[in-house]
Amino acid sequence: MTASRLVIWRHGNTDWNRERRVQGHSDIPLNPLGLRQAATAAPMLAALRPAAVVSSDLARARQTADALAERAGLAVTTDPRLRERHFGRWQGRTMPEVIDAHPHEHARWVAGDPDPGCEIEPRDRLLARGRTAFAAAADLVSDGAVVVVVTHGGTAKHGVGGLLGWPDELVPTLGGLGNCRWTVLERRVAGWRLAAYNVGPSVLAEPAIIATERPDAG
């Protein structure tokens, strides 16, 4: 038995998002904008009548999940496998700081290297972790139900690719999720399919960030 729909929801804005600082596993809370984003999105997601809310255990995701759980009358289940990609020695730095401190590894990352060094979690490991966590969330409920999974930009993208069975090298072609926006996966007989990507309220959106400026590390 498993969910018929998975809604993969990225957390709201943080001060480090605003500063374009690499978060990774750093435990950064939502800022006032992020709290407003979560409060704006929560009624839209509650209207889907989710049967469960599963969240990364990092504060920015958990605070986002709490906004929905309170609205939907649900408890939040946490799963550390839903944490963001670990960005090793890049965590806490802006991209200019990363380029200055680690130019060779940054060049490898820009070129699409799945394991660029600096103690960054390899991309195939992130894909497998996200896929496993999403599948486990789906298995929490009965057929026909909706599960909302609250996670982070990189984990959302790679976990979705993993659940869809995409090869690792294809996943980076997906764009990043904006803060407090979501992706919808629907289960069919043949497996999961992508039904919607990067949808949600357009108000209170963070400014657009060019993909080459920083990783999906928040």
What integer pLDDT is reported at residue 209 of this predicted model? Answer: 40
Distance CA(126)–CA(155), nearest Å, equals: 7
Report CA-CA distances (Å) from 172 to 6, 45, 117, 209. 20, 26, 18, 16
What integer pLDDT is reported at residue 178 of this predicted model? Answer: 93
What integer pLDDT is reported at residue 39 of this predicted model? Answer: 96
Question: For the whole model, what pTM was predicted?
Answer: 0.92
What integer pLDDT is reported at residue 90 of this predicted model? Answer: 98
Annotated active-site residue in 25, 84, 186, 213: 84
Distance CA(37)–CA(115), nearest Å, equals: 33
Closest by alpha carbon to 123, among 185, 50, 215, 42?
215
Structural domains of the chain in order of their starting residue, each with its CATH number: 5-213 (3.40.50.1240)
What integer pLDDT is reported at residue 211 of this predicted model? Answer: 33
What integer pLDDT is reported at residue 76 of this predicted model? Answer: 98
The dihedral through the CA atoms of 13, 18, 20, 25 has a sign that is negative
Distance CA(83)–CA(75), nearest Å, equals: 19
- Is 11 marked active-site? yes
Distance CA(58)–CA(160), nearest Å, equals: 20
- Is 86 marked active-site? no
Annotated active-site residue in 11, 102, 106, 152: 11
Strands 191-199 and 182-188: antiparallel
The dihedral through the CA atoms of 75, 78, 83, 89 has a sign that is positive
Q: pLDDT tens string for the chain (218 positions)? A: 577 999 999 999 999 999 999 999 999 999 999 999 999 999 999 999 999 999 999 999 999 999 999 999 999 999 999 999 999 999 999 999 999 999 999 999 999 999 999 999 999 999 999 999 999 999 998 888 999 999 999 999 999 999 999 988 888 899 989 999 999 999 988 889 999 999 998 655 555 443 333 456 67
